[in-house]
Amino acid sequence: MNSYVTGKTIKDLREKKELTQKQLADMISVSDRAVSKWETQKGLPDITLLEPLSQALGVTVSELLSGECIENRNRSANMLRSRFYVCPVCGNVIHAMGEGSISCCGITLPPVQEEEPDPEHKIEIETVDEEFYVRIDHPMTKEHSISFLAYLTSSSLQMIKLYPEQTAEGRFRKNGHGKIFAYCNRHGLFSEKV
């Protein structure tokens, strides 16, 4: 990770839970002086304490490290509120059923935002034998390519990972109304309703 838990984060989370330094210290088996040192930036919690500390404060380890609490606004678990995250270092594609605190290769990833449609990223969709045949006339080189195609409905996700030197095409089993997504490694995420 690029950062470590800060004293301000620990103090803010502790106060939000209405805990004293002593109460927090007892929960994770350290002294209240240790908690005081962390909060005044005179020391840092050992890495072995991050998980118990995050549990005591009611956050994930990732939230504790980033100092940003993620509120789940996706209570109904509608797949159409899904987010894609793409690592710029290794190219990993991560799907989440809402916004989250996602990290890969030591980088906290922002959710990929949909771009305005343009002619270069026109998604062509054709129905063939109860499937959607999806094609994009797009370069497929290491420097510029479509990294993945996805078909997202309110109840399911189908995804195809693409690689340079392939063609930007794929088939998806029809499963109702939704969106077809295509991710260009240079220009971002594009979609078309089906």
pTM for the model: 0.61
Predicted local distance difference test score (pLDDT) of residue 159: 95
pLDDT digits (tens, 9 = 90+) for 129-157: 899 999 999 999 989 999 999 999 888 89
Domain 79-193 bears CATH identifier 3.40.50.9100: no
* All structural domains of the chain with their residue ranges: 7-66, 79-193
180 CB-contact burial (10 Å; exposed 0-12 / middle 13-18 / buried 19+): buried
- Looking at the structure, give the CATH architecture of the domain made up of residues 7-66: Orthogonal Bundle (1.10)
- CA 24 vs CA 8, 46, 57, 86, 123: distances in Å: 15, 15, 8, 36, 54
Predicted local distance difference test score (pLDDT) of residue 80: 67
Q: Helix (H, G, I), strand (E, B), or coil: what is residue 32?
A: helix
Predicted local distance difference test score (pLDDT) of residue 48: 87
Q: Degrees (nearest 5) of the Cα angle 57, 60, 63?
A: 95
> What mean pLDDT comes out for the span 58-87?
73
pLDDT digits (tens, 9 = 90+) for 160-186: 999 988 999 999 999 888 899 999 998
Q: Which residues pair with residue 152 across a beta bridge?
A: 157, 179
pLDDT digits (tens, 9 = 90+) for 78-112: 676 789 999 888 888 999 887 778 888 888 888 99
Give percent of the chain with pLDDT exceeding 90. Answer: 43
Which residue in 84, 90, 82, 129 sits closest to 107, CA to CA?
90
Spatial contact of 84 and 189, defined as CB atoms under 8 Å apart: yes
Same topology for domains 7-66 and 79-193, yes or no? no
